[in-house]
Structure 1
Amino acid sequence: MFQEPDYRENLSLKLSEVLDDIGVNERMVMRRRRTYMLQETMNYITQKSTGKKSLKYLIFGSQSEGTTTRGLKSDIDFLHFALCTNVMQDLSEWEHGKLNYLMIQDENTTPGYCFLQLFRPDEPSPFTDYPGNDHYITDRSGRILCKNTFSFLARPGGVRHGPSQALLGGPGFIDRDIVAALKCKSWPQSAIGWLDRQGIGRWPTQDMKRYAASTRCFVVGTGSKVSVYPELEWRISTSLAERCLMLNLNITQIRCYVLLKMILKSYLNPQGTINISSFMCKTVLLYCIENTEQSIWRENNLFICLTYCLLELHSCLLNDSCSHFIIQENNLMAGQFTAENKHEFSKVITEFIQNDGHGLLGINIDDLGQRLQVKLNMVPHGAYKFQSSVQINEYQMTSAYIRIASNTSSCHMLILKHLHNENITTMKQSVIKLMTFRGDGHRLQHAAFKFLAPFLFTTYGSGLASSSIGQNNQVSYEALIWLSAGLNSDISSSRLKLASVFYSTGDMEKAELILRHTEQQYYSYPVLHICACWRKPIPIVTREFERVCVEQSEECIKHFTAFCVRFIQKEINCVPCELQYEMFRSTQDDRIHRYRYRDCWMDWAVVDSLPFLYFLQYKIYSHLQRHQDQQQALCKLTRIITIDENLKHKETALNILGQCMEQEDKPQQALKCYLLSLQQRARNNAANYHISKLLSRILAGQ
């Protein structure tokens, strides 16, 4: 095959087919982008609706660009920036009440980097007094400069690498790379020249450049490898502009970038070293696109485009120079390589180019080499065993929808954390703030609203109901309106809250009807439990659920997911007394063993949907004197706790099962449930109280 006259075109087409099969196609690229942009928007709306104005984050990198595969194992790049800071290029950009920094670029700073001089928040003049902490230093000119060691982010278990903090995802989770940044008021002067630069391909377009110039840039805390003052320098980041460029690549350009990263990982950085970075490969690709006609970037020319990029990367290595695409004075390779490294990398790239495609056969990532051999008829079909394109498509679509659902759960938890200590009036204000996104012209914001709003409607309605139940044991009409508005949050959690409200007022018939309908939904569709209260691996997914993800839209997916049911203390009168103990699970000693941000839910009553459904049935059938149905509900509750591996709050389910056993006058079985609960979670568990109470009862009986 490699001796055929048109083999490069044939190789390009087969290579494009392979990349299509492993998910590098327009549909999956758009799905990845949509997923992460929606996640970013959900968090923006969450902050807005809760009045949080300290931090904002953006998602960058391969995951949000759609330029990765499962085998590349790309992390998620988060850029967090403080809204209370302002980096200015001149005094006209100073902002009152903010922590202002003046960007300084002179003969002492490396191109593409700057110093930050601290200015006062009450007037546009520099601080003259030393702030008195390790994050600032006074230079010879008397200026107070901020060190790049300053960071407003500190996550448990994170490892700092330059400006970022790496957080390992653990089994079933994607690693995260979190960068703390300071936002700039305007487009950097050092990048002005790029706006007027024009390449052969007339790319980027003027529209892209106008958008880039309108976006903010950032500074991140890291100095150049060749800097005289490495701890004082801050790198100027044009991440938003770069994301715009990547989102405007065609599918061949995206595939070329994916191949560059596979070659990088397979041949240049096989041990995980980061001498040549994927950002350098991205930069080389952007220059190649800028300096060629757009017509060459097509599927039957993929291999030629890849070779061109490798030649450019090789040239950069030989010259020890890879200019930042937007800020050209910034040499990305400055101080990065030893002479030995350069020689070794040069040799590898040269051999890869000279082998004219054979090197692709040695790439094991996503079985690319083996798949290519099959496509080129170098081995018979069936010689290798790997996932089909259909299976890969199902996996990627399912992963995308689970991420959307999980992020919805995370945002809901953040909103509840804000509302936990607030009154009903404040809850209503949060609802009103969220409602402003309902008619927003921004499609992503409207989509995010539809995911988040039902949960907040239900919480507010349940809070109103709790207040009225506490006063006269009735549910107000307004509360029912809000509870009804939230019923489509998912297949079960909001319906179960409404059933719990009716149960709390003694309206057993209405509660039973809702539970019966909800249970029917469970048996009619493939349902997946979703909960972001604490980090557990991605849930086990059935084939039926995967097919739903491929066939249905993202909004329809909430009809196939069951979120955990969360009651904050403002809803306590809507919570069965057996579940109210969960709101008081923690002793003072227990609280020491909680994560400050992640474990806020431990002050609420939280339970998985299906165990709660069967528990409510058990209680309601007891009141209705339907003893056979009551025992069936108890059997279902016991069975689901035993067999369902996707339960996230198993300790709570065991606690309510134990109380059912107490009601059945089976203290030994109840004690067993509580002990099993403690095996799930030794601390911050209401089982400790239940055991004490049960043993006290047993001793009193003796």
Structure 2
Amino acid sequence: MYHINDYSHNISMRLSEVLDDIGVNETMVMKRRKIFMLMETMHTIQYSLNDRNDTIFYPGSQSEGSTTLGLQSDVDMLFCFNDVNVIQDWADWKQGKLNLLMIQDNNTTPGYCSLQQLEFDVPIPATDVRDKYHIKDINGRVLLTNDLLENGIPEGNQQHGPSIASQAEDGFYARDYVPALTCVSWPRSALNWLQHQESDSWPTQEIKQYAISSSCFVVPVGSKVSMNPQIEWRISTTLAERCLMFNLNITQLRCYVLMKMIVKSYLNLNGENNLSSFMCKSVILHCVKNIESKMWKECNLIQCLTICLLQLYNCLQKEECPHFIIKENNLMAGQFTADEKYNILQTINLLVQRGGLGLLGIKIDDVGQRLKIKLNIIPQVIHYPPSKLDISKYVSAGLYLNFSKSKTEFVTHILNNTESLSICIQRLMKYNKEGNKLDQSACRFLAPRFLTTLGSMLASSSIGQYGSISHQALTWFSTGLKSNDVADRLKLASMFYCTGDFGRTEITLRNIAQEFNNDVIVPLCGCYDNRPPKLNPDFLETCNDQNESSIQHYIAHCVQFLQSEINCVPPELQFEMFRSTQDDLLHHRNDEEDYWMNWAVVDSLPFFHVLQYKVYSRLQKHQDQQQALHDLIWIIDTNKNLRHKETDLNLLGQLMEQANRPQDALQCYMMSLQIRSRNNAARFHV
């Protein structure tokens, strides 16, 4: 039995309140999990619609909900290449695929394997070394090396072990991209965990059965203690681990978060990262397994944390931290020098002796200060840290902005790579019909943009032939417009304008104006610019109160027209489809990232005022026309959220030309060229 004194009980309860305030609570954990599982599903659907047999997973702290704003956790992304067939039994060999035989013998480190190349047409070992990524071992086997990333790291990113790490932007998460190969079956070294079951122990057999239904992978990194690290691949059971983390209660998750804060604040100093979050996770899982479940309560948080720290201490003392699933894999092997080990042990010992008071020095998320306030240690507080409500608002806004940006990126990549949008929509509808609830939710977010784009393409064709919008085009567009996206409704107004139906254009713009008068609306671009938008208080409040579906009504994406929609685009904006000279195309374009430059793309709010100006000119409403021009100038001058400002200035310049103000027009074009000197239609306008 554990005896909890009043002092320890008090600190535990106050510490639980602190963690609740900074977002480690059931509500925020479930919100994080839901958003990242949706993004994971949408990403996989994107690949499926583009005929890529790959799968994306978002394991790690963000999708587990085991992080905070202050921990600044990266988004881990596991890219699984399913066309590669990693097998353990020859019966699983498949003709025409890249078949690799998993080898685990006395020469491979526990938890790792080598991959032997097999022939494409017959199930026998390959004998030829095909390229620099293959070598022969002492037994004459052709093995695949793990240095596949060395030439594929984009500029500005770094390689960390098996991953490519992108830089974080304020408001948007940094991402760790980990390539992985999917195993046909679980490695035998991991099956021991699945088959061993103790009575009344955690994890239950049901949890294990669910875990085994998930895939297992190999990732390109060797062990630090291996004699042949170049030919080793780490076995990854990350989806099973995520399943285990999803089954922890809130006190267990809080212990894990606190351990990561302690490691970051006290144990990994001077730029060292020897103690990893994954080691902390393994320690937590072992403790959950070994400590009776009734111990894991809010009032026992300090005792639970102390037990976890002592477990970490014992692991470090022996330099043995067994992987929770593959116990033979020692996570601490070769990780610490004698001095590092001594210093960390001393620090852990001091923290354990001080109990909860050792947490008072943690600056991450102001945990130390918050705990002092809760315990009345600070007599007078001058600057209070952000409240629970404020934290909740910022976390929610960050989640929804990342979700919306990712959704836009997925859609635009599909549009750029698909040859038939109608076939793409059919596949999406099939996915929606045959998939699970998560698949169906993801499809509901992706479908509207495809429907409105197809409607706009059909409208462009009918406008080109007959000068009007066909019934079929309007039906497709209206079906997608149910999402109430501001950018799509601006496309509808543009379609009406291009047919000469200025009355319906004005009505559509008047309805949109009600949205733009709402202070909640926030613009967002998914083309190229990773800067997050400036958020207003009303938007933050809305994010806290509403879910990921309803929040889409308050985000104004940039307006995108494909070249096949050209007849739905006002003449002034059509220039943007031809922004690049031949020299630009050859030397100043990245086909993978700059595909949107083949389209006409403009910020929503400036385009709204451009359409106002154009339609009021046609309707002879000169006062309204001048007001629209004034509003357009003011928006371009003052709005910090514009991401296609060079295009906005090009449109303004052309309106200035039409108003017989050539000097003002020239100034707009020159300002545009200062923003983007190449791939800019302003060069033609000048």
1:521 to 504, 507, 515: 515
Q: What is the CA deviation profile of residues 579-610 of structure 1, one whole-angstrom value per residue up to 9, with x for unaligned ones? A: 11101111232232233322210110000111
CA contact (8 A) 2:172 2:402 kept: no
SS of the residue corresponding to residue 231 of structure 1 reads: helix
CA contact (8 A) 2:171 2:398 kept: no
Aligned partner of 1:698 in structure 2 is none
Counterparts of 1:339 and 1:488, CA distance in 2: 64
| 1:12 and 2:5 matched | no
Aligned partner of 2:565 in structure 1 is 571
| 1:651 and 2:650 matched | no
How far apart are residue 491 of structure 1 and its match?
A: 3.9
Aligned partner of 2:665 in structure 1 is 670
Structure 1 counterpart of 2:462, one-letter code: S
Counterparts of 1:186 and 1:118, CA distance in 2: 18
How far apart are residue 683 of structure 1 and its match?
A: 1.3
Counterparts of 1:31 and 1:290, CA distance in 2: 26
How does 1:296-375 map onto structure 2 within 5 Å? 296-375=295-374
How far apart are residue 384 of structure 1 and its match?
A: 4.1
Report the RMSD for the aligned CA atoms in angstroms.
1.6
Aligned partner of 1:497 in structure 2 is 491
Counterparts of 1:685 and 1:106, CA distance in 2: 59
| 1:638 and 2:638 matched | no
Aligned partner of 1:73 in structure 2 is 72
Counterparts of 1:490 and 1:205, CA distance in 2: 45
Give the count of matched residue pairs: 681
Structure 1 counterpart of 2:598, one-letter code: D
Aligned partner of 1:23 in structure 2 is 23
1:434 to 418, 428, 431: 428
Structure 1: 5+ residue stretches without partners: 692-702
Percent identity of paired positions between Structure 1 and Structure 2? 52
How does 1:109-188 map onto structure 2 within 5 Å? 109-131=108-130, 133-151=131-149, 154-188=153-187
2:480 to 486, 508, 511: 486
Aligned partner of 1:189 in structure 2 is 188
Counterparts of 1:509 and 1:632, CA distance in 2: 19
Q: Indicate the larger mover: 645-654 or 530-539.
A: 530-539
Q: What is the CA deviation profile of residues 359-397 of structure 1, one whole-angstrom value per residue up to 9, with x for unaligned ones? A: 111111111011101111112363442111111111111
How far apart are residue 567 of structure 1 and its match?
A: 0.5
Counterparts of 1:545 and 1:123, CA distance in 2: 60
How far apart are residue 436 of structure 1 and its match?
A: 2.0
Structure 2: 5+ residue stretches without partners: none
How far apart are residue 48 of structure 1 and its match?
A: 2.2
Structure 2 counterpart of 1:141, one-letter code: N
Q: What is the CA deviation profile of residues 539-567 of structure 1, one whole-angstrom value per residue up to 9, with x for unaligned ones? A: 11111111111112221111111111100
How far apart are residue 161 of structure 1 and its match?
A: 2.0
Structure 2 counterpart of 1:80, one-letter code: F
Counterparts of 1:380 and 1:406, CA distance in 2: 44
Q: Could you say if the C-alpha distance between residues 383 and 619 of structure 1 is closer, same or farther in structure 2, counting changes exceeding 3 Å?
A: closer
CA contact (8 A) 2:74 2:174 kept: yes
Counterparts of 1:212 and 1:5, CA distance in 2: 38
SS of the residue corresponding to residue 482 of structure 2 reads: coil
Structure 2 counterpart of 1:569, one-letter code: Q
How does 1:263-274 map onto structure 2 within 5 Å? 263-274=262-273
Structure 1 counterpart of 2:159, one-letter code: R
CA contact (8 A) 1:169 1:176 kept: yes
The TM-score with structure 2 as length reference comes to 0.97
SS of the residue corresponding to residue 102 of structure 1 reads: strand
Counterparts of 2:97 and 2:570, CA distance in 1: 47
SS of the residue corresponding to residue 181 of structure 1 reads: strand
CA contact (8 A) 1:590 1:684 kept: yes
| 1:544 and 2:538 matched | yes
Structure 2 counterpart of 1:108, one-letter code: N
Q: Could you say if the C-alpha distance between residues 5 and 105 of structure 1 is closer, same or farther in structure 2, counting changes exceeding 3 Å?
A: closer
Counterparts of 1:5 and 1:501, CA distance in 2: 72
Q: Indicate the larger mover: 441-450 or 639-648.
A: 441-450
Counterparts of 1:164 and 1:395, CA distance in 2: 28
SS of the residue corresponding to residue 230 of structure 2 reads: coil
SS of the residue corresponding to residue 259 of structure 1 reads: helix
SS of the residue corresponding to residue 503 of structure 2 reads: helix
Q: What is the CA deviation profile of residues 122-181 of structure 1, one whole-angstrom value per residue up to 9, with x for unaligned ones? A: 2222211221x2100012322110111124953332211221112112444322211111
How far apart are residue 490 of structure 1 and its match?
A: 4.4
| 1:255 and 2:249 matched | no
Q: Could you say if the C-alpha distance between residues 179 and 441 of structure 1 is closer, same or farther in structure 2, counting changes exceeding 3 Å?
A: closer
CA contact (8 A) 2:153 2:159 kept: no
Q: What is the CA deviation profile of residues 172-205 of structure 1, one whole-angstrom value per residue up to 9, with x for unaligned ones? A: 4322211111111111100111013345761111
The TM-score with structure 1 as length reference comes to 0.95
Aligned partner of 1:279 in structure 2 is 278
Structure 2 counterpart of 1:682, one-letter code: S
SS of the residue corresponding to residue 236 of structure 1 reads: strand
How does 1:345-494 map onto structure 2 within 5 Å? 345-380=344-379, 382-419=381-418, 422=419, 426-440=420-434, 442-494=436-488
Q: What is the CA deviation profile of residues 236-289 of structure 1, one whole-angstrom value per residue up to 9, with x for unaligned ones? A: 110110011111111000000000000000110033311111100100000000
Counterparts of 2:238 and 2:341, CA distance in 1: 28
How far apart are residue 476 of structure 1 and its match?
A: 1.2
SS of the residue corresponding to residue 74 of structure 1 reads: coil
Q: Could you say if the C-alpha distance between residues 199 and 260 of structure 1 is closer, same or farther in structure 2, counting changes exceeding 3 Å?
A: farther
CA contact (8 A) 2:66 2:253 kept: yes
How does 1:559-598 map onto structure 2 within 5 Å? 559-591=553-585, 592-598=587-593
CA contact (8 A) 1:409 1:530 kept: no
CA contact (8 A) 2:559 2:601 kept: yes
Counterparts of 1:199 and 1:670, CA distance in 2: 78
Counterparts of 1:572 and 1:44, CA distance in 2: 30
Aligned partner of 1:699 in structure 2 is none
Q: Indicate the larger mover: 363-372 or 405-414.
A: 405-414
| 1:535 and 2:535 matched | no
Q: What is the CA deviation profile of residues 437-495 of structure 1, one whole-angstrom value per residue up to 9, with x for unaligned ones? A: 33455222222222211111010000111111122222111100011112134441111
Structure 1 counterpart of 2:360, one-letter code: L
SS of the residue corresponding to residue 486 of structure 1 reads: helix
Structure 1 counterpart of 2:608, one-letter code: L
Aligned partner of 1:695 in structure 2 is none
Q: What is the CA deviation profile of residues 57-84 of structure 1, one whole-angstrom value per residue up to 9, with x for unaligned ones? A: 2111111111011111111111112121
